[in-house]
């Protein structure tokens, strides 16, 4: 999977189109609320600066739908990036228009220019050849450092590298190096901890672990259809009955592969007008919704992880944005810090939860990519990675 990297090309004086993923959350005032993805790109940015490259940054923010929308302007990103780099980062108010062309021509060695949100134009997500050609005209070399979008066949991820000499940035190299052990010959026992709310999206991920992981620990809303399949009531917790046949098929596949499933045995529930309470998984009241795993389940999950050599985690085990329902995720992931082995987290939501709960120390690596990391771990080829030349 090794790709040609940023150290394999001459950079001084050359215009470098750098695809980054600065799709970062913002607070109520429009300021950057979490700069994790920006900070993860700093090694590549500093390498380009010290190498004397003339760097033009490409990124998207949010889902403006191919139209200019001031709510998704990169102005807050430019301010945070300027602060992190200690030098002003100008923002072009367009992407491939005359202003972008003029500013890109003025970038000097060791300096940067940030173009406005790529998704302000429909050609980005459509992978329009004409738009990709316009972007490529701005640079001499393309550096791909946006791992989180490598599963998207967009103009800036596959169209531009087909038109310019292209290499992987330091973050993409690190992501590939860190995630590859989960795909090729992981150390056993191998456990996957999977939670979160996007149940239908997670079933293919779970299936990919059958026969590869020894144990799959299931929490969050993902557990509800499994509990329902066992005849347990789920109260007002979100549960789509249409998923039950797929759950049954997955369980048959896991059993045939010898992969153990570990489900909650108790839950923290909330009901109108009441305080959170712990109930058995087979006794959820009809007017209650489950928001976290209970104390017995936390102990059960920690026991399932004891002795493992490899752990992959994606998705919180409860509604961690509410402190009343964060204990399950905090306790289970916090226990990883005391365990030997290789622990990897995948996805932006997972990273934010780990950071807010103070359990980052339990992981050797947390990916910047949500969907990209999940597809990579499943062994699916990422189009934005496949287009880069092999080392």
Residue 3 known to be catalytic: no
d(CA 44, CA 269): 45
Cα–Cα distance between 270 and 167 in angstroms, integer? 51
pLDDT at 210: 95
CB 175 within 8 A of CB 369: yes
Confidence of residue 348 (pLDDT cuts 50, 70, 90): low
Report pLDDT for 202: 85
**301-to-142, 196, 281, 310, 358 alpha-carbon distances in Å:** 44, 16, 15, 15, 19
Catalytic residue of the set 348, 369, 370, 384: 348
The CATH class for the domain spanning 185-378 reads alpha beta
Confirm if 207 and 328 have CB atoms less than 8 A apart. Answer: no
332 to 87, 260, 300: CA distances (angstroms): 41, 18, 9
Query: How far is residue 274's CA from residue 266's CA, in Å, rounded to a whole number?
Result: 18
Q: What are the phi and psi torsion angles at 268 (to 5°)? A: -95, 120
Is 198 a residue of the active site?
Answer: yes
Whether 1 shows a pLDDT value over 80: the answer reads: no
pLDDT digits (tens, 9 = 90+) for 276-318: 999 999 999 999 999 999 999 999 999 999 999 999 999 999 9
Secondary structure of 126-162 in the HEC alphabet? CCCHHHHHHHHCCCCEEEECCHHHCCCCCHHHHHCCC
Question: Are 80 and 33 within 8 A, CB to CB?
Answer: no
Catalytic residue among 37, 54, 298, 330, which? 37
Q: Is 348 a catalytic residue?
A: yes
**352 tagged catalytic:** no
Interatomic CA distance for residues 205 and 207, integer angstroms: 5
- Return the structure tokens found at 298: 């936390």
Active-site hit among 123, 196, 370, 371? 371
The burial of 126, by beta-carbon neighbours within 10 Å (0-12 exposed, 13-18 middle, 19 or more buried), is given as middle
From the list 198, 251, 260, 302, the catalytic residue is 198
DSSP annotation of 67 reads S
- Residue 323 clears pLDDT 70, i.e. is over it: yes
In the chain, CATH 3.40.50.1260 covers 6-171, 185-378
Q: Is the CATH code 3.40.50.1260 the one for domain 6-171?
A: yes
Above 80 in pLDDT, residue 335? yes
What are the distances in angstroms from CA 128 to CA 71, 102, 133, 149, 228? Answer: 24, 23, 9, 17, 45
Write out pLDDT tens, residues 96-130.
999 999 999 999 999 999 999 999 999 999 999 99
């Amino acid at each position: 999977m090794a790709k040609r990297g940023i150290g394999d090309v001459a950079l001084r004086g050359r215009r470098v189109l750098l695809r980054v993923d600065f799709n970062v959350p913002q607070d109520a005032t429009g300021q950057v609320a979490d700069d994790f993805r920006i900070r993860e790109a700093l090694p590549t940015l500093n390498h380009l600066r010290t190498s004397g490259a003339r760097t033009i940054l490409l990124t998207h923010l949010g889902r403006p739908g191919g139209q200019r929308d001031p709510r998704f302007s990169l102005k807050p990103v430019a301010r945070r990036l300027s602060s992190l780099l200690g030098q002003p980062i100008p923002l072009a108010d367009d992407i491939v228009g005359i202003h972008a062309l003029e500013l890109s021509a003025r970038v000097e060695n060791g300096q940067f220019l940030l173009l406005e949100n790529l998704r302000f134009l429909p050609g980005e997500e459509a992978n329009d050849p004409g738009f990709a050609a316009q972007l490529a005209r701005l640079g001499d070399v393309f550096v791909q450092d946006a791992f989180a979008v490598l599963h998207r066949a967009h103009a800036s991820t596959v169209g531009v590298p087909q038109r310019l000499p292209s290499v992987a940035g330091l973050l993409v190299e690190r992501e590939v190096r860190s995630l590859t052990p989960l795909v090729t010959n992981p150390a056993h026992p191998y456990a996957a901890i999977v939670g979160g709310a996007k149940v239908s999206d997670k079933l293919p991920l779970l299936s990919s672990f059958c026969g590869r992981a020894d144990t799959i620990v299931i929490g969050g809303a993902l557990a509800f259809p499994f509990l329902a399949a066992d005849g347990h009531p789920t109260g007002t917790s979100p549960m789509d009955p249409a998923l039950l046949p797929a759950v049954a098929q997955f369980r048959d596949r896991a059993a045939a592969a010898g992969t153990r499933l570990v489900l909650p045995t108790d839950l923290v529930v909330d009901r109108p007008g009441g305080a959170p309470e712990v109930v058995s998984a087979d006794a959820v009241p009809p007017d209650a919704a489950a928001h976290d795993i209970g104390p017995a389940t936390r102990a059960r999950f920690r026991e399932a992880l004891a002795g493992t050599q490899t752990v992959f985690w994606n998705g919180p085990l409860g509604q961690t944005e509410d402190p009343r329902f964060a204990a399950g995720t905090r306790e289970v992931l916090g226990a990883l810090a005391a365990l030997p082995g290789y622990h990897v987290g995948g996805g932006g939501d997972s990273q934010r939860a780990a950071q807010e709960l103070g359990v980052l120390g339990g992981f050797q690596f947390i990916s910047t990519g949500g969907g990209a990391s999940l597809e990579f771990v499943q062994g699916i080829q990422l189009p934005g990675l496949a287009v880069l030349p092999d080392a």
